[in-house]
Amino acid sequence: MAERPQRRIRTIDAHAAGQALRLVVGGFPRPRGSTMAQKRDWLRRRWDRLRRALMREPRGHAGMCGAVLTEPVTPGAHAGLLFLHAGGYAPLSGHGIVAAVTIALERGLLQLADPAADVVLDTVAGPVTARAERSGRRVARVSFRNVPAFVLQAGVAVRLRDRQVPVDVAFGGMFYAIADGESLGAAVRPDGLPALRRLGFELCRAADAAVAPVHPRDPGLRGIHGAIVVGAPDGDDADLRSVTIFADARVDRSPSGTGTAAAMAVVDAMGMLEPGRPFVHESLAGTRFVGRLEDRTTVGDLPAIVARIAGEAWITGEHEFVIDADDPLADGLAS
């Protein structure tokens, strides 16, 4: 009997502030294209079944996120990063930058002439510059200078069930609908997660229908990717507690890196973001990302901030996944 065709894919897994990242390091096709968007689209057309196999059950789970290192597309960049998840693709992932840089430097996937140099990574949302703080071989902390974050529309009245909810639509690498938990009638607490998940899922759809956001500079960046429900922090030394629910109902266990930048843009638009002061953003799990205002700019005719987001990541495992062509679940379980 002939051997069944198999594909073996190697990954290194980590988490940043509680949110998983699966970095593909072997056995994966090389994405093609002259831009990161073209590389993503090529992967989606040709090999999307591998994303489904690695992100979905039984090899992954509903909240799994992944990344693929590619060749860079802009001068001076060290590599490209394409971000995957169980439901599709993301233009940028803040926790993914923190985790991928940690993995790449600790395991020697990226070789820097100067170990203290910044790491420049191309993403679909644009180049991101990351900086690692090391303690021996360990990457103790990673910060990254995010793409410009801005408020597209503030205080949009969105119909949600039996109430009108004010929502800020902001961009931090992707578009978010940001709403206060009190206005939604939901406590931003771990025991309220089932209700928050339902409300966040509904809020994504309602806000997308109401606003249909499009990035002023890049029409390919469009649509609400997630809802951020905010509340009072649990710790006295934190500024905000929130939970991010993505449009496919995934929950971000971290405070969300791009979501932190978007929330900072909203706070800045309210005149409450203090230059030079850390913005401490807390997740439901009590983990934190810390943001700082580094610069101001404009996106189209909109005022924007450039934030540096910092966090920690930890490697959790190394895997060799077997994808057998005869396996009825070779492409993963449908959501």
> pLDDT tens-digit profile of 244-260?
999 888 899 999 999 99
Identify the CA nearest to 270 among candidates 225, 301, 303, 306. Answer: 303
pLDDT at 335: 62
**What would the mean pLDDT of 184-205 be, rounded to a whole number?**
92
65-69, 298-302, 325-329: the lowest-pLDDT one: 325-329
pLDDT at 72: 96
Identify the CA nearest to 305 among candidates 318, 315, 291, 317. Answer: 291
Backbone dihedral region of 33: left (phi > 0), alpha (psi from -120 to 50 degrees) or beta?
left
pLDDT at 3: 56
- Of the two residues 163 and 323, the one the predictor is more confident about is 323
Neighbours of 113 (CB within 10 A): 5
pLDDT at 273: 94
> pLDDT tens-digit profile of 95-121?
999 999 999 999 999 988 787 889 999
**What would the mean pLDDT of 164-192 be, rounded to a whole number?**
94
pLDDT at 234: 85
**What would the mean pLDDT of 301-307 be, rounded to a whole number?**
97
In the chain, pLDDT over 70 holds for what percent of residues? 99
Identify the CA nearest to 168 among candidates 39, 63, 265, 24. Answer: 265
In the structure encoding, which two tokens stand for residue 86, read together? 């169980």
Per-residue pLDDT band for 1 (boundaries 50, 70, 90) equals very low
pLDDT at 160: 87
H runs (alpha helix) in 231-304: 257-269
